[in-house]
C-alpha cells in the first residue's frame, strides 16, 4: 500500500500493466520524453524504452487511427489525447472505427484500445482545454466510458480498461489530479467497468456524481451531515454502460435523487439517471428527481470559469430543496 | 479480372431489377487491386477502401461473401484474421490508411516481416486522415504500401478540382518517401510497382505511395449517373484502354489464350455471379440478436434489456 494522488495512480496503473504485458504500448503527444503535459506518463519511457512509450507528431486522428490498426493486429495501445477538447479531430476514427469494428466484423476483430484524456475545467486553462465530453462519448454505441474520482478507482479502472477486449474512453478529471490522495495497493487490481460505488450510505437523499465534481458532492454531504441530514453518496464511475441498478436501489431506499455533474445539462448523464429512476423507482419517489449540471454554454475562458463551475454552495442549495420537497 | 467484371455487370442488372441495393462498381479499375494483391504475400495485410473487388477475390473472399456486403449484411465482413489478414471494407473516405500504418507498426514491433497494403481513391488525398497517415508512415518508416487508385473522378469532381498538385504521387515527397505513378490499367505495371514497394517496405526502407492511373468505366455507384458530369468522348477513350481488353489481347497474341477460351471464361464468370447472388438472396437475413450482440464481447445489461423489449 502506498499513498498516491489520482494522477500518480494513473501512472502506477500504466507501469503495472506495461511490466506484465508486452502488448501494452503507450503513446501520444509529449507522453514520451516529457512524460505528458500533466506528467501522467512520467518515467515510463525511461523504464520501458522508446519503443513502448513514445511521442507522436501532433496528429489526434493519426494517433487514434494508427492505434486502431495496432489493436486489431493484437496489441493493447493506450493513447493519450492531451486535452479532451483536442479529441474532435479524432472523432471520425473514434465513432466510425474504434466503436464499430467488432460489430462490423461480427466479432472477427476487436479493438482493445484505451483512449485517455484529461477533461473538465477549473484549471485556469486556455480555450479548448476544459471540455466535459462524457455525454458525447456515452452516446456512441460500441464505446465504454469511465471516469475515476479517487486514486484507488483511477488505478483499478485503468487496469480494467487495459485488459478489456473493447475500447474504453478513460476520462481523467484534471482538476482532481493532485487534489485527492488515497492509499492504493501496490499490486495490480481491477475495478469492474459498469459498476457504481456507494461511497457513503445515507437514508434521506441519493446524491450521484462523478469525476472532479465528486469533491463538491463530498463536501455537501459532510455539511448536511453536520445539520443532521443523512445523504447517500454514489460515485457513478462508469458513464457507459452505467450502473442504473445501484442508483435505482439507492433511490428506492431514500425516495429522492439529485444528480450532479459539471458538463452541459441538456441530454447529459443526469438526464439519463433521472429517466432511469422515473422508470424503475417511480412508486418510491418522495420528490421529483433533480439535477444540477453545467449550463448549455461554451466553457468560458479563465476569467469567467466561476460562472460555469458548480460550487459546494450550489450543491447544498439544490440538495436542501430536494430534501425539503413536499407534495 | 473477368469474374470481377461480370460480377459488376450482373450486380447492375440486379439493381435495375430491384434485387440489389446500392452497389459500388469496379469496372475499368480491376487491374489495380488484382495486380497489387498478386504482388504481396497472402499473409501481408490488405486494407481495402471499397473499390477492390478483384483484390478481395485474389485474397480468397468468395463472390457470394462480397455480394452479401452490398446486399446489406454485416456477416460479409466476418473476416477471421488468421485466414485473411485483411480489414473489412471501409466507407469513411481515407480513414483506413491510418489503420494500415498502425498494423505495420504492430507487425514490426512483434518482429514479423509482414507489410500492410492500403487502398484509397484519389479523392481521399484531400482528407486529413490521408495526410496524417502519410506523415506518421514517414516518421515511423512504416512497412506500408499506399495504393491510390486515381480514376479521375470522385463521384462528380474531377482531379483538376480535387487538387492543385500535378500528380497524386508527388504528394509523397513532402512526407519523405517515394511516390510513383503507374498505368493502373496495365496489370503487369501494377504488379511490378507493388512488388518493388513491398520489398522496400519489408526490408525496412519505409513506405511508398503508388498512384495507379485508371478510370471508372461505370458509375460511382448504381445510384449515380455519370453522364451528368463527364463526356461520352472521355469514356470512349478509356474504353479503348480497358485493362481486360489489354490483357486479353496480350494473351491471345502470346498464344496463351484463344478467343473461344476467353468467351468460355466470360460465360463461366457470369454463371458464377448468378449462382453467387442466388445463394445470397436465399440466405436468411441477419437476426435481431445480431444487431445487439457484437458491439461488445459481453452485452451490457442496458442493451440486454433493450433486446428483451424488442423481442416482446
Gap between the Cα atoms of B148 and B162, Å rounded? 14
Substitution target from A21, A65, A93 for chain B, most B beta carbons within 10 A: A65
Q: Which distant-in-sequence residues (6+ apart) come within 8 Å of A277 by Cβ?
A: A247, A248, A251, A257, A285, A289
DSSP A307: G
Main-chain dihedrals φ then ψ at residue B303, nearest 5 degrees: -70, -35
What is the pLDDT at residue B140? 98
State whether residue A28 is helix, strand or coil: strand
- DSSP-derived letter for residue A97 is I
HSE-up of A81 (CA within 13 Å, CB side)?
A: 32
pLDDT, mean of residues B223-248:
96
Distance CA A230, CA A227 (A): 9
What sign does the dihedral B153-B157-B159-B165 (CA atoms) show?
negative
pLDDT at A201: 98
Residue A74's contacts (CB-CB under 8 Å, 6 or more residues apart) are: A23, B106, B110
Judged by DSSP in three states, B135 sits in helix
**Strands, E, within chain B: which ranges?**
45-47, 116-121, 144-150, 153-154, 157-158, 179-183, 208-213
Nearest chain B alpha carbon to A52: B109
pLDDT at position A282 is 98
Q: How many DSSP H helices and E strands does chain A contain?
A: 11, 14
- The torsion angles phi and psi of A49, rounded to 5 degrees, stand at 90, 160
pLDDT at A262: 98
φ, ψ of residue A118 in degrees (nearest 5) = -65, 145
Decide if B168 contacts B125 (C-beta within 8 A): yes
Residue partners of B77: CB distance under 8 A and separation at least 6: A104, A105, A106, A108, B69, B88, B89
Give the residue among B56, B232, B133, B199 at the shortest CA–CA distance from A68.
B133
User: Are B87 and B45 spatial neighbours (Cβ–Cβ below 8 Å)?
Assistant: yes
Each residue of B291-306: pLDDT tens digit? 999 999 999 999 999 9
Q: Do A92 and B79 touch (CB under 8 A)?
A: no
User: Which cell goes with B49?
Assistant: 477502401
Q: Is A129 a catalytic residue?
A: yes
The neighbour count for residue B123, using CB atoms within 10 Å, is 21
Please answer whether residues A172 and A133 qualify as being in contact, where contact means their C-beta atoms are separated by less than 8 angstroms: no
Mean pLDDT in order along chain A per 10 residues (327 residues): 97 98 98 96 98 98 98 98 96 98 98 98 94 97 98 98 98 97 97 98 98 98 97 98 98 98 98 98 98 98 96 98 95
pTM of the model: 0.97
Q: For position B248, what pLDDT does the model report?
A: 96
DSSP-assigned letter for residue B179: E
pLDDT classification of B50: cutoffs 50, 70, 90: very high
* B99 annotated active-site: no
C-alpha cell at B80: 477471421
pLDDT tens per residue, range B140-187: 999 999 999 999 999 999 999 999 999 999 999 999 999 999 999 999
B252 close contact with A: CB closer than 8 A: no
Q: CA end-to-end span of chain B, whole Å?
A: 48
Sheet holding A290-294, edge to edge: A197-200, A231-235, A205-209, A257-264, A290-294
What is the reported pLDDT for A327?
Answer: 86
- Positive or negative, the CA dihedral B191, B197, B200, B201 is negative
Would you state the pLDDT for residue B39? 98
Q: Which residue has the cell 472521355?
A: B234
The number of angstroms, rounded, from the C-alpha of B45 to the middle of its chain's C-alpha atoms is: 13
pLDDT in tens, A106-131: 999 999 999 999 999 999 999 999 99
Mean pLDDT, chain B, as a whole number? 97
Q: What are phi and psi of A117, to 5 degrees?
A: -155, 135
- Enumerate the β-bridge partners of residue A181: A5
Beta bridge partners of A200: A233
Q: What is the pLDDT of residue A268?
A: 98
- A275 touching chain B per CB within 8 A: no
* Nearest beta carbon to residue A57 from set B47, B90, B139: B139
Asked if B81 is an interface residue toward chain A (Cβ–Cβ < 8 A), one would say: yes
Amino acid at each position: 500500500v502506498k499513498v498516491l494522488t489520482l494522477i500518480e495512480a494513473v501512472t502506477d496503473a500504466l507501469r503495472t500493466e506495461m511490466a506484465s504485458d508486452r502488448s501494452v504500448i503507450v503513446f501520444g503527444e509529449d507522453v514520451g520524453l516529457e512524460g505528458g503535459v500533466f506528467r501522467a506518463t512520467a518515467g515510463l519511457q525511461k523504464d520501458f524504452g522508446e519503443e513502448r512509450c513514445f511521442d507522436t507528431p501532433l496528429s489526434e486522428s493519426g494517433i487514434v487511427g494508427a492505434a486502431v490498426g495496432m489493436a486489431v493486429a493484437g496489441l493493447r495501445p493506450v493513447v493519450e489525447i492531451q486535452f479532451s477538447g483536442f479529441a474532435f479531430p479524432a472523432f471520425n476514427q473514434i465513432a466510425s472505427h474504434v466503436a464499430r469494428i467488432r460489430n462490423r466484423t461480427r466479432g472477427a476483430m476487436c479493438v482493445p484500445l484505451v483512449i485517455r484524456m484529461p477533461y473538465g475545467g477549473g484549471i485556469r486553462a486556455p480555450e479548448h482545454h476544459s471540455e466535459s465530453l462524457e455525454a458525447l462519448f456515452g452516446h456512441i454505441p460500441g464505446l465504454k466510458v469511465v471516469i475515476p474520482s479517487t486514486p484507488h478507482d483511477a488505478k483499478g479502472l485503468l487496469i480494467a480498461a487495459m485488459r478489456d477486449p473493447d475500447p474504453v474512453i478513460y476520462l481523467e478529471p484534471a482538476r482532481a489530479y493532485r487534489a485527492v490522495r488515497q492509499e492504493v495497493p501496490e499490486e495490480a487490481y481491477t475495478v469492474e467497468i459498469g459498476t457504481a460505488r456507494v461511497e457513503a450510505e445515507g437514508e434521506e437523499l441519493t446524491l450521484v456524481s462523478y469525476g472532479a465534481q465528486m469533491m463538491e458532492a463530498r463536501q455537501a454531504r459532510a455539511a448536511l451531515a453536520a445539520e443532521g441530514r443523512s445523504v447517500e453518496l454514489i460515485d457513478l464511475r462508469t458513464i457507459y454502460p452505467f450502473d442504473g441498478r445501484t442508483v435505482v436501489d439507492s433511490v428506492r431506499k431514500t425516495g429522492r435523487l439529485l444528480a450532479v455533474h459539471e458538463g452541459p445539462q441538456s441530454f447529459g448523464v443526469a438526464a439519463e439517471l433521472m429517466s432511469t429512476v422515473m422508470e424503475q423507482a417511480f412508486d418510491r419517489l418522495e420528490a421529483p428527481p433533480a439535477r444540477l449540471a453545467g449550463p448549455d454554454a461554451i466553457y468560458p475562458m479563465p476569467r469567467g470559469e466561476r460562472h460555469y463551475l458548480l460550487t459546494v454552495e450550489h450543491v447544498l442549495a439544490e440538495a436542501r430543496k430536494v430534501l425539503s420537497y413536499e407534495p | 479480372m473477368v469474374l470481377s467484371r461480370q460480377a459488376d455487370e450482373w450486380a447492375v442488372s440486379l439493381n435495375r431489377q430491384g434485387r440489389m441495393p446500392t452497389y459500388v462498381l469496379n469496372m475499368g479499375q480491376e487491374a489495380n487491386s488484382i495486380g497489387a494483391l498478386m504482388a504481396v504475400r497472402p499473409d501481408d495485410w490488405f486494407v481495402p477502401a471499397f473499390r477492390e473487388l478483384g483484390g478481395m477475390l485474389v485474397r480468397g473472399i468468395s463472390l457470394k461473401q462480397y455480394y452479401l456486403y452490398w446486399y446489406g449484411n454485416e456477416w460479409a465482413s466476418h473476416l477471421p484474421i488468421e485466414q485473411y489478414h485483411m480489414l473489412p471494407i471501409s466507407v469513411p473516405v481515407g480513414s483506413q490508411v491510418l489503420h494500415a500504418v498502425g498494423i505495420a507498426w504492430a507487425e514490426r514491433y512483434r518482429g514479423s516481416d509482414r507489410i500492410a497494403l492500403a487502398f484509397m481513391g484519389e479523392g481521399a488525398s484531400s482528407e486529413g486522415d490521408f495526410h496524417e497517415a502519410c506523415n506518421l508512415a514517414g516518421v515511423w518508416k512504416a512497412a506500408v504500401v499506399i495504393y491510390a487508385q486515381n480514376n479521375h473522378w470522385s463521384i462528380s469532381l474531377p482531379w483538376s478540382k480535387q487538387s492543385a498538385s500535378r500528380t497524386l504521387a508527388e504528394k509523397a515527397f513532402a512526407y519523405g518517401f517515394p511516390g510513383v505513378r503507374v498505368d493502373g490499367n496495365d496489370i503487369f505495371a501494377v504488379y511490378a510497382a507493388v512488388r518493388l514497394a513491398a520489398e522496400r517496405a519489408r526490408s525496412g526502407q519505409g513506405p511508398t505511395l503508388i498512384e495507379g492511373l485508371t478510370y471508372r468505366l461505370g458509375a460511382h455507384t448504381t445510384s449515380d449517373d455519370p453522364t451528368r458530369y463527364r463526356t461520352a468522348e472521355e469514356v470512349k477513350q478509356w474504353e479503348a484502354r480497358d485493362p481486360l481488353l489489354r490483357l486479353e489481347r496480350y494473351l491471345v497474341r502470346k498464344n496463351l489464350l484463344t478467343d473461344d477460351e476467353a468467351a468460355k471464361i466470360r460465360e463461366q464468370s457470369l454463371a458464377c455471379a448468378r449462382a453467387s447472388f442466388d445463394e445470397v438472396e436465399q440466405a436468411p437475413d441477419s437476426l435481431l440478436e445480431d444487431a445487439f450482440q457484437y458491439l461488445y464481447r459481453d452485452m451490457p445489461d442496458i442493451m440486454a434489456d433493450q433486446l428483451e423489449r424488442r423481442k416482446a
